[in-house]
Amino acid sequence: MEHNREVEIDGNSNPIQISRLALDIGGSLIKLVFFSRNSGDDEDPPKDLVGVSSGVNGRLHFAKFETAKINDCLQFISANKLLLGGGFQHQENCTNDRSFIKATGGGAYKFSELFKEKLGISLEKEDEMDCLVTGANFLLKAVNQEAFTYLNGSKEFVQIDHNDLYPYLLVNIGSGVSMIKVDGDGKFERVSGTSVGGGTFWGLGKLLTKSQSFDELLELSHRGDNRAIDTLVGDIYGGMDYLKIGLSSTTIASSFGKATSHNKQLEDYKPEDISRSLLRMISNNIGQISYLNALRFGLKRIIFGGFFIRSHSYTMDTIAVAVHFWSKGEAKAMFLRHEGFLGALGAFMSYETHSLDDLVVNQVMPLPVNASLGTDTNYDPLKGDLNGTESIQCSVYRA
């Protein structure tokens, strides 16, 4: 199992101090965020940070598991002693077990008893939408090189002006899709949603292509050609554009339209073409609904999160093109490096409002990983698919 390893920091096997673990237990995936403290290098806070005294340096770690394999997740938590540690204490040997951990997502309700039974821990439930917004705001404000645009195959990081962040539309593409108008910290409204989301792509794709994993299905789409199965405007117009209404001959007129052909069966289509067509159909649809909701509220920025995206270039390109096309260039699609961890980060941050309100997370910088969770040490944020095996350096300050 990919993530089922013991945590090592900086490539050595010294035990690490884990403080704070938070979970987002979704319909498809469980996301974990936890903080490990670097040994012995507390530091003074920066001068411009008022009202805080000492700081704790450490790393935020990210991991994910399929919800269907929740036992792997429970095993990971116990093997890595993630329930030890009681906040950001300064004592060297902090061994007081937590009696609860913060959790969000539907699974925080569904699996509450399982966590109690297997790990002896209660899940303190945090609202999913609240957590998504808190997580997104945190990433946008605190993490360098977090948000980027994607057009014509090239990524461009966006410098976020803290005074000009709101309002924006947050579109979280998980199993289903939530669209949230964000007006500030804790100020938001879920304005729409659609059940045609990541679960639809994976579910239909599995049935139609016999793929055994989401990654396999995504990989298939790289090699596919959707024109084999989609009906294009040109197929209907004898190779011509229909420019009067702004449609070129290569625009998809009807997703999966060619599959209506009487003399073809499922076996006559290549799995890679089906996967590509499906990915395009779902990404396009989400892009279009997002744009319509942005239009409803006059929002110019649409920020996409959720594990459906997986930093996959074709997915991002399709969504960005859809937003650009429908808004005639007025609205911009943005993506996040930690796309899949918004809810888990929000749950993680929610500790502050209860037991740890004297703590401020600050100075978060993306750094290449040092062997944490067996990750790639050559991580390149420009290319990266942050796949739940990364960590970022951060400091936490005590008031």
Ligand X SMILES: CC(C)(CO)[C@@H](O)C(=O)NCCC(=O)O
When asked if residue 26 is in the footprint of ligand ATP (CB under 6 A), the reply is yes
* Interactions with ligand ATP, residue window 111-140 (CB under 6 A): none
Which of ligand ATP, ligand X, none does residue 208 bind (CB under 5 to 8 Å by kind)? Answer: none
What residue has token string 């799995």?
271
Residue 60 bridge partners (DSSP): 35, 392
Query: Is residue 176 part of the contact set for ligand ATP (CB under 6 A)?
Result: yes
Pairing mode, strands 17-25 and 100-104: parallel
The reply to whether omega before 45 is within 30° of 0 (cis) is no
Number of CB atoms found within 10 A of residue 161's CB: 7
Query: Is residue 115 within 8 Å of residue 105, measured between CB atoms?
Result: no
Nearest-angstrom CA–CA distance, 375 and 39: 20
Rounded Cα distance, 323 and 331, in Å: 7
Binding ligand ATP by CB under 6 A: which of 8, 66, 219, 385? Answer: 66
Cis (ω within 30 of 0) for the bond into 15? no
CB of 190 to ligand ATP, least distance (A): 12
3-state SS assignment for residue 84: coil
Does position 306 interact with ligand ATP (CB under 6 A)? The reply is: yes
Enter the DSSP assignment of 155: E
Applying CB under 6 A, among 9, 22, 23, 29 the residue interacting with ligand ATP is: 29
Q: What is the DSSP letter of 375?
A: -
Residue 214 near which of ligand ATP, ligand X, none (CB within 5-8 Å, type-dependent):
ligand ATP
Number of H helices, E strands in the chain: 11, 16
By a kind-dependent CB cut-off of 5 to 8 A, residue 320 interacts, out of ligand ATP, ligand X, none, with none
3-class secondary structure, 261: coil
Distance CA 63, CA 75 (A): 13
Q: What are phi and psi of 195, to 5 degrees?
A: -80, -5
Span interacting with ligand ATP, options 27-35, 73-81, 91-99, 219-227, rule CB under 6 A? 27-35
Q: Which stretch binds ligand ATP (CB under 6 A): 40-48, 256-264, 304-312, 357-365?
A: 304-312
**Binding region for ligand X (CB under 6 A):** 26-27, 106, 128, 174-178, 193-195
**How many whole angstroms separate alpha carbon 309 and alpha carbon 321?**
15
Here's the x/- map for ligand ATP, 178-217, by CB under 6 A: it reads as --------------------xx-xx-----------x---
27 binds ligand ATP per the rule CB under 6 A: yes
Considering only residues 340, 349, 364, 366, which one is a binding residue for ligand ATP as defined by CB under 6 A? 340
Shortest Å distance, C-beta 66 to ligand ATP: 5
Residue 195 touches which member of ligand ATP, ligand X, none, C-beta under 5-8 Å by kind: ligand X
Q: Which of residues 213-272 bind ligand ATP (CB under 6 A)?
A: 214
The residues that touch ligand ATP, with contacts defined as CB under 6 A, are 26-29, 66, 105-106, 174-176, 198-199, 201-202, 214, 306-308, 310, 340
